[in-house]
Amino acid sequence: FARFLPEAADLVVRYGGSLSGEHGDGQARGALLERMFGPRILEAFRRFKTIWDPDWRMNPGKVIDADPPDAHLRLQWRPSDPPTHYGYRREGGSFQGVALRCVGVGKCRRHGGGTMCPSYMVTGEEQHSTRGRARLLYEMLEGDVIRDGWKSEAVKEALDLCLACKGCRGDCPVGVDMATYKSEFAAHYYEGRMRPRHAWAMGRIRTWARLGAPVAPLANWVLRTRPLAAVLKRVGGIAPARDLPPLSHPDFHRTELARRLRGDGPRDPGAAPHGRVIFWPDTFNAYFHAETAVAGVEALQGLGFQVELPDRPLCCGRPLYDFGWIDRARALWRETLEVLDEPIRSGVPIVGIEPSCVAAFRDELPNLFPDDPRAQRLAGQTYLLSELVQERLPDPVLPASPGPVLLHGHCHQKAVLDFDADRAVLERMGARVQVPDSGCCGMAGPFGFEAGHYDVAQACGERVLLPAVRDRADGVRVVTEGFSCREMIAQNTGVRALNLAEVLRDALADAREAAVPRTPAETRSTS
């Protein structure tokens, strides 16, 4: 910074510009004024000040004989540096860097456009903006105004309406990542405390899904029976107006396709010219939208990949982070690193269809294991389906799927992954893609299911996305990768949004069918 300023000042002066306008000639620019005015005029300034302020008592160290611009900076502030769960490499490895990352620009205080910050767009309160939350974390570390540290109710209240959408990570000019900070705070806040009911209901969703999968018909009957479902929602802290998604029967892991992929039978390399990939069956799709997970496998196979599955069901821990169960998430990652050891060493791509889970590979995994080279490699070889298609299949013509598409991007996809890859794949298939500036859908994983967050979640969805879905023309397909996004759309509009995997799978099937020669009788029957 100190080297850049004089170089920038020389450039401005060379082109006839001004170092400042009306305001700003204090310490920030004072040391640069000689470059603009020259020594004679600056000496006149000095003599003028000496006449009226011979003892230099009025605002010394500013315009005349100014202190260097990098003196007296807030960066000299050094509060306590508490131990943390995440590595925070971007912040220099400490939570001090977290507290200093926000510079107060206030881009998070927009009322529309982009993803950041959905809670502020709804409430309009500084406390519920990224900047407001960052300031409270700063005060928490400083320990003057907020003196109870990780147990602060003020910080907890401000973070409560954070949707953990990571919109700030992508939209904020300095990349504040409030979702990670919220996870860190929750882990410390709940040490020695019981978590609320909704944390157990939603944070442990994988446990409940695995328990319910063998008896899915019975579990779904309970969910369809209103009095019983109402009791479940009340016990689990779920909003009464929210529907609980039914379990798939069978779940993905019990499908014939999954059993076949986990078998030891011979494989035909000629049927997979693009090599091996490991398909990641995330918890949400595997247990609640099994047909979407099946579509992911079939799309990859149709594109010419040899698809394999992990030896046993795994989880990235995505539902755990929001509630601070970081140690449990870390244990799941250790299991994943062990099971995927050979694919990691061999550089085999890991491919998922749920953006929040793929984002966990890219973001949470290396942040939790900053010194583990396996974690760093795995983060770099994990793809969303559209990203894999764009990187590994840039030239082949994709199967046609023409027609208009309303494409909504999952927040984690826009912040951590490559959302443009979705649009590019659809356009390569001949679709006419419309992307509304919809921000967050409001569901945001568990957020929109929680009883205390229902109204804010609905307001987020009704801001742009839900009206866009309702008002679309006939024949316009709705496509979004996120499980929670599809749930929000389905529960509020009755529209079944598609995952890109389903679009690809269906287009590949149509292309295969069109390529099969028809008999004269079949031709006559369709004419």
Q: Are 401 and 507 in contact (CB under 8 A)?
A: yes
CA distance between the termini of the chain? 73
3-state secondary structure 471-520: HCCCCCEEEECCHHHHHHHHHHHCCCCECHHHHHHHHHHHHHHHHCCCCH
391 versus 519: the higher-pLDDT residue is: 391
Per-residue confidence at 116, pLDDT binned at 50, 70, 90?
A: very high
Across residues 435-451, what is the average pLDDT?
Answer: 94
Across residues 483-489, what is the average pLDDT?
Answer: 98
Q: How many Cβ atoms sit within 10 Å of the Cβ of residue 170? A: 20
Q: What is the pTM of this model?
A: 0.86
Mean pLDDT of the chain: 92
Q: Which residues contact 132 (CB under 8 A, 6 or more apart)?
A: 120, 125, 126, 158
Give pLDDT, residue 123: 95
Question: How confident is the model over 398-437, as pLDDT tens digits?
Answer: 999 999 999 999 999 999 999 999 999 999 999 999 999 9
Bridge partners for 383 per DSSP: 351
Query: Scanning the structure block, which residue is given the tokens 């050094």?
Result: 78
Nearest to 397 by CA among 303, 477, 307, 481: 303
Residue 86 structure tokens? 């995440």
Rounded (5°) CA angle 459-461-462: 65
Pairing of strands 306-308, 350-352: unpaired
The dihedrals phi and psi of 478, each to the nearest 5 degrees, come to -105, 125
In which element (H, E) is residue 404 found?
A: strand 403-408
Q: Which residues contact 194 (CB under 8 A, 6 or more apart)?
A: none
Q: Where are the beta strands (DSSP E) in 203-303?
A: 276-279
Whether residue 272 is predicted with pLDDT greater than 80 in this model: the reply is: no
Residue 466 structure tokens? 């839900």
CATH number of 403-511: 3.40.50
Widest distance between CA atoms in the chain: 108
322, 324, 327, 330: CA torsion to nearest 10: 20
Give pLDDT, residue 390: 97
Domain boundaries, the chain: 1-72, 82-189, 252-392, 403-511
Question: How confident is the model over 282-340, as pLDDT tens digits?
Answer: 999 999 999 999 999 999 999 999 999 999 999 999 999 999 999 999 999 999 999 99
